[in-house]
Structure 1
Amino acid sequence: MGNDAMTAEERLVATINLQPVDRVVCAPIIEQNAGQHVGITNKEFMWNWETAQTAIHKLWEDYPVWDCNAYLLHGRIGPVATKCGPGRFKMPGKELEDNAQYQIHEFETMTRDDYFIIKDKGWTEFRLTFLERAHQVSRVEVLEGQQEMVRLRQDEINRSLARGQSLTWGAIMGTIPFDALSIVRSMERFYKDMYQIGDQIEELMWIVNDAIIAGSEAAAKTTGINRVFVGGVRGAGQFISKKNFERFVWPYLKVMVEQLAAKEIVPILHFDADWTKNLEYFLDLPKAKFVLELDSATDIFKAHEILKGHCSIKGDVSPALFTVASPSELEEYAKKLITTFRNGEGLMYSSGCNMPMNARHENVKAFFDAVEKYGRYN
């Protein structure tokens, strides 16, 4: 194993700033795969915090080149997820088999008449209403779950720092407004609303946008980490036209990134699905003030071609390479990915979204080994 000349935090900050580093940042999203790595069921992993954290730490001990933790578990662990998780969960050992992957089910939690709640009382109030409905729990239980989630978030941060890791983000702020509304309304009905009451949707999305920006600022102060997760899927060119993207997605995203940048907060744009058609828009965002994270649906090499010298890009070893490919096939892709980005062009080497729970152990090893083989610059 090579010698690191930078700390994990120094390496991450330099990567975001498009500056040279000693080696590539290694920042996969490791969640349920950690339990499989140590040979426990997903029920054990998803319902016992200490058991899960022990598994995650063991994976890091086996692959210490993993220097940047893109953690998520505090909002997905069973006792929290079933009170205030981002949707209605089906969990291993409960609705699912003991070693099944958890599922998040979408349904119409919000009717068109409910839009007035956002307009009259704000997005934060409606989120509480949504969580009550999604999980069929009381307001008290939602708030208790959120308090526990904050406590566990800090524990995840502390454990990561104690290992010498950096944190990809300090808090998960949800999604861009387009996704935030379509999740609670359901995708099918929200797209219908977009065409039938588009003016109202635009007005509501500014309320959501302001709430996400304010929440990001508060979270950065609480955690001491000036990076936040902001998700996006449904506003991609894969799903909507350029006309609707320019009306319902881009204005809010642009303002969000600009205002967060003005506050020295870096949004990690975790954008699943295929954004290839939208890549040139990101050139209008502040240079070296955001990270574009891709899940392997977007052409990351096209993203590099268009955005190199403008922003850091995170990704993008696909689930298929972890699960059905051979280790050599994964290594071949990892080599191409890592060597396409020159030192100072901002690659954050990662899985395409979560590392699959059922990733082959030999492929996981190939993923980490690629950092030493192809990702050192010093």
Structure 2
Amino acid sequence: MGKDTMTAEERLIATINLEPVDRVVCAPETGNYAGQYVGITNKEFVWEFETKGLAAIEKLANDYPMWDCSADINGITSGYVAERAGMGKMKLPGKELPDNASSQVLETEVMTRDDYAIVKEKGYGEYHINFLERANNISREEIVKGFTEAGRIRAAELEAIRRRGQVPIYGDLGGLVPFDAFSLTRSIEKYFKDMFQIAGQLEELMAILVDAFVEGSERTVAATGVNRVFVGGSRSAGQFISQKYFDRLVWPYFKEFVERLVAKNIVPILHFDCDWTKNLEYFLELPKGKFVLELDGATDIFRAKEVLSGHCAIHGDVPAAYLTIASPSELDEYCKKLITTVGKGGGFLYACGCCMPINAKHENVKVFFEAVEKYGYY
């Protein structure tokens, strides 16, 4: 049995910097699973987050103290915020969905091709507010209330994380891969048509998005006091986009975004869903030891270790199936392989793929956390 010799903050910072640590960082995003763990509905977790939701997470953390780094970020998914300033046009438990259903983002065209003009004339912020007005059929005043409430809830969540002895992996949202920014507003079908038909027009917008996301990340750091920010990426992966368009519309602007954050001493935590295996070598172009690549079960994390070992920290990656349908012994075997292989030599943050599934089996979650003590000490 190992023994901790570092604080959670020391361990996290050293891991990102590719320095020696006492054990792997345990950094899952537990999502809405905590509510199921204590026996409340997802409606209660989402709509009563500051009382019942935070209490559920507290219970989970107390029962599994090896969980030292929180990747939870629930402000934007709480009910009041989600229906005003969430990720898009939403369906929520207890309203459009059954009480114990997961929230859903609807894939639908809200903004038209003509609306790109808003970005050029008034900036990305105005475009995004226009999107929320249309998607949710609400006033600008209500959207502002949603943003304000998201910040307030995030502050409460950060306070709770620190109070229970954990460290947040990021302060709050910092932006997206610039190419992804229009995907939900236009729908993936319409946006990919834009990629083929008006690529030059999209190129003109990307520099505006980079500026907006750098400024947004600076505001996040100032508001939270944490110099690490969440950067989302999914629909720009090689799973969807050819190398020709990746090289033209995705990578140059994303690379500039990361480099500008690093120059400002901001650490981007790249929460990259979908399959980036084809693109792994590109990440060698980003500043060494200055970012984290967070994978979700679709990218081959063992290949990522081969390519990026000694260049950046890797965060992941127990796939959802291992927590929902695998046997405890199958899960234990995978966790051992993950920790001892991807964790070899350091630079590893142990987690589930994306977030812990809401329907994870409790006995498998127990195995997931216990693997840290069994296999995670150096």
Q: Tell me the TM-score normalised to structure 1 length.
A: 0.98
Q: Are 1:24 and 2:24 counterparts?
A: yes
Match status 1:6 vs 2:6: yes
Post-superposition offset of 1:343 = 5.2
Aligned residue number for residue 188 of structure 1: 189
Q: Secondary structure at the match of 1:153?
A: helix
| Pairing of 1:358-373 with structure 2 (within 5 A) | 358-373=359-374
Instruction: Tell me which residue corresponds to 1:48.
Output: 48
Q: 1:227 — aligned with what?
A: 228
Question: In the alignment, what sits opposite 2:38?
Answer: 38
Residue in 1 that maps onto 2:198: 197
Shift of 1:72: 1.7
Cα distance, 1:78 vs. partner? 0.6
| Correspondence 1:154 to 2:155 | yes
Aligned to 2:172: 171
**Residue pairs, 1:27-176, within 5 angstroms:** 27-49=27-49, 50-176=51-177
Q: 1:143-184, CA deviations, whole angstroms, 9 ceiling, x for partnerless residues?
A: 001001001111111110111111110011232111111121
The amino acid of 1:138's aligned partner reads S
SS at match of 1:230: strand
1:26, 1:65 within 8 Å by CA — same for their partners in 2? yes
* Separation in structure 1 between the aligned mates of residue 104 and residue 364 of structure 2, nearest angstrom: 24
> Residue type matched to 2:361 in 1?
R
Mapped contact 1:15–1:344 kept (Cα < 8 A) = no
In the TM superposition, 1:213-252 aligns within 5 A as 213-252=214-253
Could you report, residue by residue, the CA deviation over 1:271-306 in whole angstroms, capped at 9, with x for unpaired residues? 100000000000010000110000010000000000
1:208 deviates by 0.9
Distance 1:234 1:367 in 2: 29
SS at match of 2:173: strand
- Distance in structure 1 (CA, Å) of the matches to 2:238 and 2:341: 25
1:86 maps to amino acid: M
SS across alignment from 1:64? coil
Pairwise CA distance, 1:2: 4.3
Between 68-77 and 359-368, report the one with greater CA deviation.
68-77
Matched, 1:347 2:341: no
Deviation at 1:253, TM superposition (A): 1.1
**Percentage of identical aligned residues:** 60
State the Cα RMSD in Å: 1.0
The runs of 5 or more residues in structure 2 that have no matched partner are none
Deviation at 1:196, TM superposition (A): 1.1
The one-character-per-residue Cα deviations of 1:27-73 (angstroms, maximum 9, x if unpaired) are 11112100000011111111102110000100001111110011221
Q: Is the 1:74–1:152 contact (alpha carbons within 8 Å) kept by the matching residues of 2?
A: yes
- For residue 315 of structure 1, give the secondary structure of its aligned residue in structure 2: strand
| Structure 2 counterpart SS, 1:359 | coil
- Residue type of the partner of 1:26? C
Asked if 1 retains the 8 angstrom alpha-carbon contact of 2:302 and 2:342, the reply is no
In the aligned structure 2, how far is the partner of 1:220 from the partner of 1:136?
Answer: 31
Asked if the contact 2:269–2:293 (Cα under 8 Å) also holds between the matched residues in 1, the reply is: yes
Contact 1:20–1:343 (Cα < 8 Å) also in 2: no
* Paired residues of 1:69 and 1:167 also in contact (CA < 8 A): yes
Deviation at 1:341, TM superposition (A): 3.2
- Structure 1 position 345, deviation (Å): 3.0
How has the CA–CA distance of structure 1 residues 3 and 345 changed in structure 2, closer, same or farther, with 3 Å as cutoff? closer
CA contact (8 A) 1:266 1:289 kept: yes
**Partners in 2 of 1:114 and 1:359 — Cα distance?**
41
Q: Does structure 1 retain, via aligned residues, the 8 Å contact 2:172–2:230?
A: yes
Q: Deviations over 1:91-138 (max 9, x none)?
A: 111111111111111211110110000000000111111111111110
Q: Following the alignment from structure 1 to structure 2, what is the Cα–Cα distance between the partners of residues 278 and 179?
A: 16
Distance 2:175 2:134 in 1: 18
Corresponding letter in the other structure for 1:164: G
Q: Aligned letter for 2:285?
A: D
Could you tell me whether the CA contact under 8 Å between 2:175 and 2:217 is conserved in 1? no
Residue 272 of structure 1: aligned partner: 273
Query: Cα offset for 1:231?
Result: 0.6
Q: Residue by residue, what CA displacement relative to the aligned partner does 1:221-277 show, whole Å, maximum 9, x if unpaired?
A: 221100000111111110010111001110011101111111110001111000000
1:3 Cα shift? 2.9
Q: Distance in 2 between matches of 1:59 and 1:93?
A: 24
Does the Cα contact within 8 Å between 1:21 and 1:343 map onto a contact in 2? Answer: no
Q: Which runs of 5+ in 1 are unaligned?
A: none
| Pairs within 5 Å for 1:257-268 | 257-268=258-269
The one-letter code of the counterpart of 2:7 is T
Structure 1 position 284 matched with structure 2 position 308: no
